[in-house]
Structure 1
């Protein structure tokens, strides 16, 4: 009886250990998945000012903020009217990796680095709210003029008699990683040129640069060419969309292996499948209790007679 109870306890302990091992592995897999997809619906948010100001340092949320809430906190700040110009740059399709891949010596990186006050949030929740009504409220409160400019246009000027709120929408950024890197370098030069002109006209300005989501209707219109003409890579900035080059195979024309798909495949093959094999192996290693055999020389009949 003692040997049977001991074997049963050993079997139960083995089952508990295997179950705990499988549970820890599954929990680790779930944590990896949640961490990987926790930033799938985010955009970068960068803001800086040409003069020292606490309008950006006061925005220190404890959790990952919303893009609209961040912009609202800036526009509702009591010192927002102290700037002569507020420049809001909207870049559809921009990812935080696009900014990280920029050269540290480029004009945009140097401008942000040398700014007296700056705020950089690589993963901000997307917002479906349009920032136009917030900018209109600031323009009404500060007596500023709204001015919409284009990246390739250099004809705009600022009047020194009033404040200005400038908005600029960059071309859509999409495609493979290498193509995005090449296009982003060209976009960065356009942004730097506009920032240099802005700094030359007003030394007291605030810049807000963030990504956004291109509406589906606008994306479909940007991909439609009624004349059937193909544009070269160097002339894509004349439209609101970036068209991938015609040559180079299907991977250059379409983004099949997206970062989310690659991450999913890696998690499945290196996390989920090993956890499944570990569970099967743990269940297969469970053995039945050891049989209790009578000691050598033991006779049940003699024991009964006694």
Structure 2
């Protein structure tokens, strides 16, 4: 019989496993060079940053655009329609890379990348609003690092529709930026490595294709999620929180009824002896 304490311990362990701080990383560029292999599926995140970001060739870009969406999961990207503006923008890029599960170190953080490119490429750091207000004279001949902040998605049954709206808005913003900066590199991830949607994160990991399979199927955006994060969260709560509580209740009722049955047996024996 599962005790309440055992149920809580199991739930805690599973929650800890679910809270692995990983997120997908999607990047694409207007350039097609050896630095940016077409539709690459780099197995190591360090290899990606060394080849795409920390190389001297990274200074060829007019702008490096860093997009941050807290709580982003690979399952969110898989819900995007192949006909969506975001998906078409990625598929039409001369070079792209898709990494389903990335754990960012301090050396790969957004702040570190901003400082590194700013110093090596003499680039100016600007926000999305500042980038949109730049005049052509300011852009011409300059180098920029643009920080774009995307709202986090809520854990609900409407998460898929939220992602569709967010993806469209992001595509619209990036279309304007990439037009202003013809030579560009876009890197889209959860740079904060948020863990407030751990259940969806683990389900995404379980559904993860191997790098070769990703390449064969066209990337993580072409694999669709069957279970929504809301449904997954409900199943998790039902099996690992409510079920142990119900089992404890049944065990408690059984322990209460046992003395009653014992008292009834003793009373019957007493009456039998009295009749004799």
- Which category of TM-score, normalised to the shorter sequence, fits these structures? 0.5 to 0.7
CA contact (8 A) 2:82 2:88 kept: yes
In 1: Cα distance, 2:123 partner to 2:160 partner: 36
Q: Shift of residue 262 of structure 1?
A: 3.0
Show the 5 A alignment for 1:260-299: 262=235
Go from structure 1 to structure 2 and tell me whether the alpha carbon gap of 1:215 and 1:208 turns closer, same or farther (over 3 Å shift).
closer
1:72–1:132 CA distance, 2 compared to 1 (3 A): farther
Candidates 92, 98, 106, aligned match of 1:114: 92
What is the alpha-carbon distance in structure 2 between the residues aligned to residue 213 and residue 196 of structure 1?
24
Over 3 Å counting, the alpha-carbon distance change for 1:154 and 1:187 in structure 2 is: farther
Among 94, 113, 116, the residue aligned to 1:134: 113
1:86 is aligned to 2:74: no
Answer yes or no: is 1:170 the counterpart of 2:150. Answer: yes
Q: Which runs of 5+ in 2 are unaligned?
A: 1-12, 196-227, 242-276
What is the number of residues matched between the two proteins?
191
> 5 Å matches for 1:47-126?
47-57=27-37, 61-62=42-43, 65=45, 70-71=48-49, 74-126=52-104
Q: 1-side partners of 2:42 and 2:171: how far apart?
A: 29
Which residue in 1 is equivalent to 2:171? Answer: 192
CA distance in 1, matches of 2:164, 2:72: 12
CA offsets per residue over residues 35-72 of structure 1, 9 Å max, x none? Answer: xx589432010011012023343986545x47xx8546
Secondary structure, aligned partner of 1:207 = strand
Q: In the superposition, relative to structure 1, how do residues 102 and 62 fare at CA in structure 2: closer, same or farther (>3 Å)?
A: closer
Encode CA deviations 1:190-222: one digit per residue, 9 max, x unaligned. Answer: 211111112221221110000244779xxxxxx
Displacement of 1:258 in angstroms is 6.9
Q: Which has the higher helix share?
A: 2
How far apart, in 2, do the equivalents of 1:166 and 1:47 lie? 14
Q: Is the 8 Å Cα contact of residues 149 and 156 (structure 1) preserved in structure 2?
A: no
The residue aligned with 2:162 is 183
CA distance in 2, matches of 1:97, 1:38: 14
Change (3 A) 1:145 1:176: same
Instruction: Answer with 1 or 2: which has the greater Rg.
Output: 1
- 1:202 equivalent to 2:175? Answer no
Gaps of 5+ in 1: 1-32, 217-254, 269-306
Contact 1:94–1:212, Cα closer than 8 Å, also in 2:
no
The higher-RCO structure (CA 8 Å, 6+ apart) is 2
